[in-house]
A and B are shown apart, each in its own frame.
Chain A
Amino acid sequence: MQDIDSDSAEPARRSAPDAQTSLSEFLGYWGAQLDQTVGSNNFSRALNADVKVADRPDLGQNDGMPLLSVLVRTQGKRPDNLREALTCLAAQTCDDFEIKLLVHSAPERIDQVRDLVGEFNEDFSSRIEVVGVQGGQRGRPLNVGIEESCGELIAFLDDDDVVAGDWIEAFKEAHVPGSPQIIRSVTVTQKVQVPAESEAMAAYRPTSGLENVFASTFDLGYHFYTSQTPICSVAVPRLLIDAFHLRFDEDLLVTEDWEFLIRAAQIAGVKDTERVTSVYRRWVDGQGSAGEVDQSAWDAVRLSILQRMDQVPLLLPKGSASKLAEAGDNTVGVQILNLNIAYLRQELENAQEQLDILRAERSKSEPRQGLGRRLPRRLPGYLRKWLGGLKR
């Protein structure tokens, strides 16, 4: 790909200052996000692994650093869940990773978290750094984790989710060193709840099996409608994060992962492993993040994100034209279907009205002559035919 470097472009090729095309707006926006050491609009250089795009002394050419950093987010409120999440990480088939255990807004529980880490074998616990984080919403600990970590890929895990033994192996096998492409595996969900006090056997209790509700492959266009990618599904290359200073929005109450992914996916694209490697827990009794925020707040956050996205042109991947057209067809199809449904409803109401009339007339003393001869003319044709066919 030819470098797009506005500093070296011929004057004739530059856009007029007041000609705001989608392309110039897009390039202008993302160019401003680029790390300035590579020059504005130099996307190719920014995404070149050989170029040090950030002044990070511990980032180099795979000089003993782990392949992957796992950012585990916790508030220390669910130690049993956290222990299980860490056990899943300890049992990984690939151990080329470090863990940043981010204890958010819970300084009083940091020691307990450290004690919990200390329960594990030293081979594993020595790879975990417990980091206290204050302030901000759910995105804040993730940003701190990004700053503190050094892996080539960054993956995320909340303390109430669990992963299969090949979670990291799947990311590693799909990742091409030096590629900015986001790696995505499949996450299934499971409903869980806090048991009643009398049911002291368990700290939590699943109420469903594993349900496959998220798409196996990533569709950026569809993600504008709804997220299909829990945060534990993806590993994001540090190359991409550093090149564009990608960070989570620390002011968002919820859906910080959705907003981050849509921004990042436009630039680098997503590569699917199509392997199920993680389980996202849905708390049915309001214990999870879904329960902390009511629906109106969710809707408001979503709306604000979309409005913010509306300020910048979007970049969609190859194949999007057909998908958008199909979505349009589906939209029109749904509209037509709704019209048909409305028509049929009206017809049924008419038929009901006529049947009521029939019943009223039958209650009178006139001799029965068969329904077919007494059908009011206003009945729909199909109903007249059906009733007329009834045996007298």
Chain B
Amino acid sequence: MWTDLKVQVVLYRNESAEIWRLLRGLTSAVTGASKQVALTAGLAFGDSSPAPVLQPTDVDLLRHNGMAGGLKNLVYEFFNENLGSSGGSNRLAESSQCDLILVLNPDAYPTPSMLTELLRVIQDSSVGIAEARQIPLEHPKDYDPETGDTSWASGCCMLIRRTVFDEVGGFDPKHFPLYCDDVDFSWRVRLAGHRVVHVPRAAVFHNKRITLAGSPLPAESEIYHGTLGRLMLASRYDRPDILNETILIIEFKRHEAQLRALSDFRAKLEQGAVPDPVPNASTVAQFIDGEYARHRF
């Protein structure tokens, strides 16, 4: 069984109360998992904020008052630049070796059984990524109800084999700094022959606001980065039809953030900063009704 887990959380302007909440949920999850396996877990915060969200005294307080159970050490690194979620995760992964990496959002709160369930699934050597299910807003993407296999795993909470992470070179911050980085990472993991599995019993609370339409309230950056990410995905996964369709829609809707993303994409194209198509892309990439998997609802 796995013994060495590293939990990685990339911060960006998060409030102290949110970090404390995360720590409380995480300690419960690690404590629960430690009862099932011999587990050593460390927590690493990487801060992409313009200014540190945690001072040394805050970190000391977290270490002395917030750690419990199987959570053995806590490190905090201020990046002094905005690396985004993908770059931040890569930077944190560089600094130590481990058997497993748990990528976790700072606004998440694991259920006590979450880690136990993820570990149970990733025992299977064919599984490269085990993904938690979000509540109260469950992601609608499809998964095999018997095996859990799914198109991609959300960066909100994913447990990754370290060997797989290294094999595919981690996330790709150059092309996917924020949003769609998890889709790209998942598809590259699958191209390398590993499975991405959704684990419904591994629930994680994700603090999203719900609109009157019953959908999550999108973050400001989501529209821009989501659009740019889509254009990059269509390029890497060899879908010129999706690329053209997306451009047509952007030009028709004329949403400011989307137009900006398209303009930046075109600039990157000229600079040669758009990914080349990868072989066998069609075996993993799904572009269905504007999403990257079939949706159950």
A interface residue numbers (CB < 8 A to B): 80, 83-84, 87-88, 90-91, 93, 119-121, 123-124, 162-166, 186, 188, 195-196, 198-203, 205-212, 216, 274, 276-279
In the bound assembly, the distance between CA atoms of A277 and B200 in angstroms comes to: 22
Q: Does chain A have a CB within 8 A of B146?
A: yes
CB–CB A201/B201 < 8 A: yes
CB–CB B111/A276 < 8 A: no
CB–CB B145/A209 < 8 A: no
Chain B residues within 8 Å of chain A by Cβ, number: 42
Q: Does chain A have a CB within 8 A of B56?
A: no
In the bound assembly, the distance between CA atoms of A198 and B145 in angstroms comes to: 8
Write the nearest CB–CB distance from B127 to chain A, whole angstroms: 13
In the bound assembly, the distance between CA atoms of A165 and B18 in angstroms comes to: 11
Chain A residues with CB under 8 A of B200 = 201-203, 205
Interfacial residues of chain B within 194-208, with CB under 8 A of chain A in the complex: 198-201, 203, 205, 207-208
Interfacial residues of chain B within 112-143, with CB under 8 A of chain A in the complex: 112-113, 133, 135-138, 140, 143
Partner of B201, one of A90, A124, A188, A202: A202
Q: List 11 A-B contacts (CB under 8 A).
A: A88-B205, A91-B109, A124-B24, A201-B199, A201-B201, A205-B200, A208-B297, A276-B211, A276-B212, A278-B136, A279-B136
In the bound assembly, the distance between CA atoms of A22 and B145 in angstroms comes to: 60
Q: Does chain A have a CB within 8 A of B294?
A: no
Given known A-B contacts A120-B112, A121-B28, A84 and B209 have beta carbons under 8 A apart: no
Q: Does chain A have a CB within 8 A of B288?
A: no
Partner of B205, one of A165, A199, A209, A216: A165
Given known A-B contacts A87-B109, A121-B28, A276-B212, A210 and B146 have beta carbons under 8 A apart: no
Interfacial residues of chain B within 202-257, with CB under 8 A of chain A in the complex: 203, 205, 207-215
CB–CB A202/B113 < 8 A: no
Chain B residues with CB under 8 A of A166 = 209
Given known A-B contacts A162-B136, A199-B146, A202-B200, A212 and B213 have beta carbons under 8 A apart: yes
Interfacial residues of chain B within 156-212, with CB under 8 A of chain A in the complex: 198-201, 203, 205, 207-212
Chain B residues with CB under 8 A of A277 = 210
B interface residue numbers (CB < 8 A to A): 17, 21, 24-25, 27-28, 32, 68, 107, 109-113, 133, 135-138, 140, 143, 145-148, 198-201, 203, 205, 207-215, 296-297
Write the nearest CB–CB distance from B297 to chain A, whole angstroms: 5
Chain B residues with CB under 8 A of A119 = 28, 32, 112-113
* Beta-carbon nearest neighbor of A208 in chain B: B297
Chain A residues with CB under 8 A of B297 = 206-209
CB–CB A91/B214 < 8 A: no
Given known A-B contacts A84-B135, A87-B111, A119-B112, A276 and B214 have beta carbons under 8 A apart: yes
Given known A-B contacts A87-B25, A165-B205, A201 and B212 have beta carbons under 8 A apart: no
Greatest chain A CB density within 10 A among B24, B112, B198 is at B112
Write the nearest CB–CB distance from A320 to chain B, whole angstroms: 24
* Beta-carbon nearest neighbor of B137 in chain A: A210
Greatest chain A CB density within 10 A among B17, B136, B145, B208 is at B136
In the bound assembly, the distance between CA atoms of A363 and B35 in angstroms comes to: 87
User: Which are the 8 A-B pairs with shortest beta-carbon distances?
Assistant: A210-B214, A202-B200, A119-B112, A91-B109, A199-B145, A162-B136, A165-B207, A276-B210
CB–CB A210/B109 < 8 A: no
CB–CB A164/B210 < 8 A: yes
* Beta-carbon nearest neighbor of A118 in chain B: B112
In the bound assembly, the distance between CA atoms of A119 and B111 in angstroms comes to: 9
Chain A residues with CB under 8 A of B199 = 201
In the bound assembly, the distance between CA atoms of A120 and B28 in angstroms comes to: 5
In the bound assembly, the distance between CA atoms of A113 and B138 in angstroms comes to: 25
Write the nearest CB–CB distance from B139 to chain A, whole angstroms: 10
* Beta-carbon nearest neighbor of A188 in chain B: B214
Write the nearest CB–CB distance from B92 to chain A, whole angstroms: 23
Partner of B27, one of A121, A165, A188, A274: A121
CB–CB A211/B25 < 8 A: no
Chain B residues with CB under 8 A of A211 = 214
In the bound assembly, the distance between CA atoms of A1 and B133 in angstroms comes to: 53
Partner of B68, one of A121, A195, A200, A207: A121
CB–CB B203/A87 < 8 A: yes
Given known A-B contacts A91-B109, A216-B212, A206 and B138 have beta carbons under 8 A apart: yes
